Amino acid sequence: MTGMSYQQLEARFTRLHRYAHLGAMAGWDQLTMMPEGGSEARAEAMAELSVLMHDTLTSPEVRRLLDDIDPSTLEPEQQANLREMRREVRDATVMPAELVEAQSLAGARCESVWRTCRPNNDWQGFLPTFREVVRLSREEARIRAEALGCGRYEALLRKFEPGLTLKALETIFDDMRQWLPGLLIEAVECQRGREPVMPQGPFGEDDQRRLGERVMAWLGFDFDHGRLDVSLHPFCGGVPDDVRLTTRYRSDECLTALMGIIHETGHARYEQNLPLAWRAQPAGRARSMAVHESQSLSLEMQLGRSAPFIRTLQPWLVESLGDQPAFEVENLIHLAQQVEPGLIRVDADEVSYPAHILLRFDIERALIEGEIEVEDIPERWDEGMQRLLGLDTRGNYRDGCLQDIHWTDGSFGYFPTYSLGAMLAAQLMAAARRAEPQLDARIADGDPGLLLEWLKTHVWQQGSLTETSELIQRATGEALDPEYYRRHLRERYVDGH
């Protein structure tokens, strides 16, 4: 009976995978190609699909099949898949279908309003739809917290990072608050008097796109199963068989879009190399958002801003965009490793970036816990930016609390995974260097193959066959240790100068 029940469950989750495929494509189109007038109809269609998926996942038949299975009769990989099935069903069952539908509708509407309000610096216009997203997110947090026996914000954290506790996260972040400000001051001081030459545009969008696609190909991106497009906020979406990347271009500057492409390619390589045999099952999905972000940051930060990579990139940059003083190798290295606190998170340098995450973590935790209301966010934002980065954002909502898309669909608890991912990326790179002593020399020769193959073996093809802690232990030989991250930043930005 167990074997038949397990096979029936796999069939149900294959169906859910196909529904998710359609939802991913509708979401990609919504953010890239859809005309503005289609937003309400698309919101309703996506809400309908979310309810269909929720009903399929939480049906009495699925719960009966789960109860029928004796895990000891399954193969180890099937046991891992069953564990992930049960996690998904548990997380979905606590949520009422009407709340799932309401959240999907509110998120789609809020994202549409955000598209208009951000360029217009219109925080007041954004508030009504955002207020509804927050109300529904608080309700979700309450329901999940009661089911899990934890705090409300922690309940949302666990959606993106299963097993993570708020206490563990606060310990990591509190430690980072101690050393980050001083390291940032040191890094800025080390670069004083060595201002890099800035690239002089204009740079054509087609030229930038071709350069980006060349770098994507060098990193092994499979264009038969994915593509690059443009959106207001860069992202990676789709499904492993059809991965969609986006970036945004500026005519007066070229490196931001390129680094964004490299970042999203890290996500894409992970998705394209998940275990094929488990592609339609929960065990075949990416392990967690921190692991996902570790892959994008392994390519963007660990590799993409390194001197060996810049030396490989330089002739391609000249060939694509023309020669100029800014494109000299040493100047490009200075540009890639320049530390200069700025307003925009996605454009931030590697040292100041964690401060952006601390800011968002502090605000969204207080928001979900009911300590502040949406009207309080700009004041909290201005205070945090001044304290953490010494920047004035008063009245600048566009480059302040309206800059990110994540909160529009209620993705509270997501932001911390960026810094956790950066920490894991540093630890993974250290492990890869120990395993492959020629890794940096090969990259300097224009061959990233050793690094990519190591990541494929130790992260990408593991999917969710293990828990996050076990994946990290197997890949690096130890538990997550933020000290690798601090050491990496100090060696690149302070001791290296």
Which residue is associated with the tokens 């958002």? 289
d(CA 490, CA 398): 32
3-state helix, strand, coil in the chain (%, to 5): 70, 5, 25
Cα dist. 115→32, 112, 121, 125 in Å? Answer: 12, 5, 11, 11
d(CA 272, CA 221): 8
Angle between the N-to-C axes of helices 416-435 and 166-190, in degrees from 0 to 180, rounded to the nearest 10: 70
Confirm if 352 and 389 have CB atoms less than 8 A apart: yes
264 classed as catalytic: yes
Neighbours of 1 (CB within 10 A): 9
Any idea of the CA torsion for 35, 38, 39, 43, to the nearest 10 degrees? Answer: -140
Confirm if 268 and 295 have CB atoms less than 8 A apart: no
C-alpha dihedral sign at 82, 83, 88, 93: positive
Catalytic residue among 264, 271, 300, 364: 264
Confirm if 481 and 427 have CB atoms less than 8 A apart: yes
d(CA 293, CA 418): 6
Measuring CA to CA, which residue among 143, 13, 19 is closest to residue 66?
A: 13
d(CA 43, CA 334): 44
Which residues lie below 8 Å from residue 126, measured CB to CB, with a gap of 6+? 110, 113, 114, 117, 118, 397, 402
User: Which residues are annotated as catalytic?
Assistant: 264
